[in-house]
Structure 1
């Protein structure tokens, strides 16, 4: 039988089948345990060693090192993890992903789990129609698990039969006699395969299948596994190209960690292969004692042992250098500093697909930053009101105009991001949080509009040479002081856990702002009647104190939305 186009398509289709099953299973686990995973990450990463264990545990649970890496980046953006803690978790994820290889090597080749795939789907399918979102997620896990091993079974059957295609092995054999150069070549092959199929787990499944069917030798398979360790980091770096500075740093750290590990492994490759084969003897004895029917072919399990031992030793060697890696990647990807003058989203990474929980955390951090920007904008207005230097006056006007444009664009970007998050399956808590944030960014954008309108009123005042009395200036100053206090509290509420926000102080400040506005308006009407100041001054003055009160309205709306009162 020739291995032609149809056979190649069958092989690619089987690989796609496996990847789809892995994706469905991983997403189901993340949906079912999203909040728990967040709690684990935030409570178990107090130092780099706990971080390693946490990364291992989470990757073990969700069966995807890429998903763990994305989650780590998201929580680092949200302020739950430092860069050093993030690197520790990524190291642990490298160990956790080796469990996938063990599952494939044991269940995929030693036990015919594909025979149970359809019954597993039969159990999971009715659960897809359950009302509880948790049951739906469990159904996805079961169905994804079944599809994964059906895909693996199809993969085994799609690999060319060497009895009928001996030229495949003879072709590979020509590249196996060049010592370290051969190792480097097959490392590159493993890297390229992983980049092409965008999944280290799928690349590992393909490598195990080629080893199982004797298409490649154990040494070639081990070199390909090393390449897959590099390939999975390149995938993350490609995703981080359009992401934020935190994502880039985490991706670079992952790349440095794995590349350094592969370099020292290539130099000690022959010695390490002998070490794994030596370790395999007692491991095999223990495994055979526990499972007498393990079977005669052991190379797939040996490859899984090689993968695990390499990642454990590499982590033990590198964990002490985590602070150094953090400093290196910080220099590689420097922060742009205070970029409030330029439009950008610092926390929302557009290049990575996130879980709902992680996406909401990133949006929350971005909304808090938006709140700080509007508070800064509010403080420009009283400065503009008392500024006498014409050059500085024009500069302030230009800054306020630029900030107003920024608020419009931030509202648009964040609302679009939240709309995309809403397209996924949401529990009631997530849905309520997204509604709150949409309300918050609308009010923050309106604060920008009001500030801009006030700046134009002050500009008219300057152009027309309109002067305020000391009483008018003092009244406006008192109102701005109250609004400043309210905006400080608003930002504080945006930065803390929404469930902990109390509205008593915010409501008190809102009442004081309204009371002061009413007092000023009453005095203003009397002063207009008695001719204390001219009509032009009165109109601009009325616009300003009314606008300040509107700022207070939008500020209290934000705090109420944070507390869930929308």
Structure 2
């Protein structure tokens, strides 16, 4: 027997694993870009119907090639209050089903010689690179990314399998798998440990399949390792939930409880089968397709078994992870960096947060006008406090957008992120103008001055139109409606005309000494602030027309 070169084997296997992980990540990225618009709609169909949640979880995981990434995304959604724990249960269950797609992709090589990794890898890589470099249409480039990732995944699998083949001659390696197969706890711990380290059950199953291709893995050790892999994949969500709110921690706990219970149930069943029903099966070598079948059966049956007890899983998680969520003023509600795993969702949630910031600014403008008309000190202070919150939101959103702009986005998503920077700036300026109006109110309170009846009527009229203009622009951006955007721009024109006419009328009142001088200054400054607010609303509407 030739001497084993452990350095060559180790480097080849690690290099193959790196290519496998890179290919899986790259293929998932291409699938995300190709299916981005569809993925944005998946969240909207999530209702209290857990069955829909299972389907969505399976679908998203099949697209991004990682149940860990899907569960991290779920933790992010729960943390951003976009998903309830009951909805999260279904998605987590579905994610476990969706992750089986990678194992089936790896199994293709056993079905026909044309689909073997050594044949398929160079073909996919060559076609993929050609499409990435020379295709003009974005859809074709996305297909190229998918093919390149697919080919690289197969190349890595082939390298791992070739590296492991010399190990078939070593009794120590064979004995290691015999020990893992005869001791369920060791087998489960081995699967959990490897998966926790590389933080991907799909990749961990891929490694197991590469070893199976080399003829190293018996049935019993494969089963226990697969069960352990489903426990180990929970580490990603658990680590992700650190620093998140209580419900997000509970979502990670649900993922662990669900996978742990399934592994315990199937572990007991496997022991019974290998000990009493089919004692000879455990020592037989398992092939790649059989690993895919086992992996799929486990995840599908586990979901069917525990699906009726989803409410109990939520109850158990709530009692294991105790505490209450406490929202702080100016705290981001829809943004979570965990959503970067699926950029299309991250962009849409950034839009939601910016629109929320706009609503806060609009409400603050209304309070500022109330403070001005009512000469109310408490409302003046409320405007000042809210303005600080708006500034905090601006800083938080901008930091998020900077990070979001540095991940892989489609051209349309990149444009949207760039426009969000501008909209955030417009909304912050709207907040500043509301703050200016509150300062005018404070001055009028100090000077004990007041508007004439005619001035109050005019300010009320232009304020209502300014508010309507801002509301319409924000709604237009939220739902991407060009009709509403055009309406907002028409309203802005009306505000401009009103401001000009009212300024002229006010000068006449000052000449006639109908209005107090100090109140007159406040009137003109208020007009100017409302007109500027409508200008910023018009900027938001213009972005809608550019994006359509």
TM-score using structure 2 length: 0.85
> How far is the alpha carbon of 1:334 from its aligned partner?
6.9
| The one of 295, 301, 307 aligned to 1:307 | 295
Secondary structure of 1:49 counterpart:
helix
| Cα displacement string for residues 61-81 of structure 1 (whole angstroms, at most 9, x for unaligned residues) | 553334544566677889987
| Cα displacement string for residues 23-65 of structure 1 (whole angstroms, at most 9, x for unaligned residues) | 1112112222222344466459783334434433454455333
Aligned pairs for 1:484-563 (under 5 A) are 484-495=467-478, 497-499=479-481, 501-503=483-485, 505-563=487-545
Is 2:146 the counterpart of 1:141? Answer: yes
Query: Which structure 2 residue ranges, 5 or more long, are not aligned?
Result: none
Between the two proteins, the alignment pairs up a number of residues equal to 539
Is 2:346 the counterpart of 1:342? Answer: no
> How far is the alpha carbon of 1:263 from its aligned partner?
2.7
Is 2:480 the counterpart of 1:476? Answer: no
Q: CA RMSD in A?
A: 3.6
Residue 356 (structure 2) aligns with: 369
> How far is the alpha carbon of 1:253 from its aligned partner?
3.4
**Contact (CA 8 Å) 1:276, 1:305: kept in 2 or not?**
no
Residue 433 (structure 2) aligns with: 450
| The one of 31, 34, 42 aligned to 2:33 | 31
**Contact (CA 8 Å) 1:450, 1:547: kept in 2 or not?**
yes
Aligned pairs for 1:143-542 (under 5 A) are 143-159=148-164, 161-162=166-167, 165-170=170-175, 182-213=183-214, 215-242=216-243, 250-271=251-272, 298-326=286-314, 332=321, 336=325, 339=327, 342-386=329-373, 393=377, 395-424=378-407, 426-495=409-478, 497-499=479-481, 501-503=483-485, 505-542=487-524
> How far is the alpha carbon of 1:307 from its aligned partner?
1.6
Secondary structure of 2:484 counterpart:
coil
| The one of 103, 111, 131 aligned to 1:101 | 103
Tell me how far apart the structure 2 counterparts of residues 276 and 375 of structure 1 sit (CA, whole Å).
Answer: 70
| Cα displacement string for residues 181-213 of structure 1 (whole angstroms, at most 9, x for unaligned residues) | x32333222122112112211111222333454
**Contact (CA 8 Å) 1:237, 1:252: kept in 2 or not?**
yes
> How far is the alpha carbon of 1:314 from its aligned partner?
0.8
Provide closer, same or farther for how the CA distance between residues 433 and 74 of structure 1 changes in structure 2, counting only shifts above 3 A. farther
TM-score using structure 1 length: 0.82
| Cα displacement string for residues 525-544 of structure 1 (whole angstroms, at most 9, x for unaligned residues) | 12222333443332223212
Q: Which moved more, 1:309-318 or 1:417-426?
A: 417-426
| Cα displacement string for residues 235-261 of structure 1 (whole angstroms, at most 9, x for unaligned residues) | 133234356777655444333322222
Query: Which structure 1 residue ranges, 5 or more long, are not aligned?
Result: 281-295
Provide closer, same or farther for how the CA distance between residues 174 and 77 of structure 1 changes in structure 2, counting only shifts above 3 A. closer
> How far is the alpha carbon of 1:464 from its aligned partner?
3.9
> How far is the alpha carbon of 1:155 from its aligned partner?
1.0
> How far is the alpha carbon of 1:506 from its aligned partner?
2.8
**Contact (CA 8 Å) 2:117, 2:158: kept in 1 or not?**
no
Residue 121 (structure 2) aligns with: 117
Provide closer, same or farther for how the CA distance between residues 276 and 113 of structure 1 changes in structure 2, counting only shifts above 3 A. farther
| Cα displacement string for residues 345-368 of structure 1 (whole angstroms, at most 9, x for unaligned residues) | 221211343334222211111112
Aligned pairs for 1:42-53 (under 5 A) are 42=44, 47-53=49-55
